Copies of this chain bind each other. A is one copy, B any other.
Amino acid sequence: MAHDSTRVYQHGTLALLVPGLFTGTQSVHDLLQHGDFGIGTAHGLAGELIVLDGQAYLVAGTGDVRPVKTTETVPFATVHFQDAALTSQTISGITKMALEQQLLNQAPLKNLFFAVKITGQFKKMHTRAVEAQVEPYPNLTAATRVQPEFTADMVEGTLVGYYAPALYQGAAVAGYHVHFLNTAHDFGGHVLDYEVADAQLTVQPFETFEQHFPNQNAAFLETDFDLHAVNADIEEAEH
């Protein structure tokens, strides 16, 4: 079957991380059936996951980067097939805030899910990575209270991530959520800020948001999610 680039696929929900459901519930092998680019986290919240060209990498809280085996599992991840027909645009000298706002101003994308991919030179890149948790898992707020941050100047690499409409806050991260990995594969993480030096940008809007649930996981099925707390905690942990 030809890859469907009109949809974005998500396993798990951001909401399930909030009370501490960090157990991996889908193999990376299965995840990669649904996309060749994407982001997420790993079993035990063991770092920031990024999928580039069908290979998953994990940036640990130590800052170390390693390839992820397809037998490893994830509690939450989002992937898509990059549309090969998409034309990229050259961007330079622009910050995260300016670019993200510009994308929403240029085209009416605010009510759709879309992917952002930026490949090239970044003048500045500021990331962070969550530290691996051990069972019994704390909740997301406790797990992310201390998060090592990393910065690099004039770094070459790829940024990948998503914009989700406000309506999907809790299922996904509303607004932008992007990760980065450098070309040398030794620096990356959850992106806090950046400034593009010279890079190629693609923006890929989706027709369909495919939400897959960990429907075999008893803890997920039985948890009473407090949605007001979920929203407050996502704001604290993800922004």
Contact = CB atoms under 8 A, between A and B. Distances in A.
A112 B167 contact: no
Nearest to A209: B211
Given A111-B220, A218-B108, A220-B111, A167 B209 contact: no
A223 interface: yes
Given A111-B223, A167-B15, A168-B171, A205 B210 contact: no
Given A13-B167, A111-B223, A170-B167, A208 B218 contact: no
A225 B111 contact: yes
Given A209-B211, A211-B209, A225 B166 contact: yes
Copies per complex of this chain: 2
B211 A205 contact: no
A69 interface: no
B108 A222 contact: yes
Contact of A166 (B166, B168, B208, B227): B227
A149 B87 CA distance: 53
A113 B13 CA distance: 13
A221 interface: yes
A150 interface: no
A215 interface: yes
A205 B216 CA distance: 11
A208 to B, nearest CB: 5
Interface residues of A, number: 33
Contacts of A166: 225, 227
A13 B165 CA distance: 12
Contacts of A215: 112, 205-207
Nearest to A208: B212
Interface string A121-132: 000000000000
A213 B165 CA distance: 11
Contacts of A225: 111, 165-167
A114 to B, nearest CB: 10
B213 A112 contact: yes
A205 B212 CA distance: 12
B207 A213 contact: yes
Contacts of A224: 110
Interface of A: 13, 15, 108-113, 165-168, 170-171, 205-213, 215, 218, 220-225, 227, 230
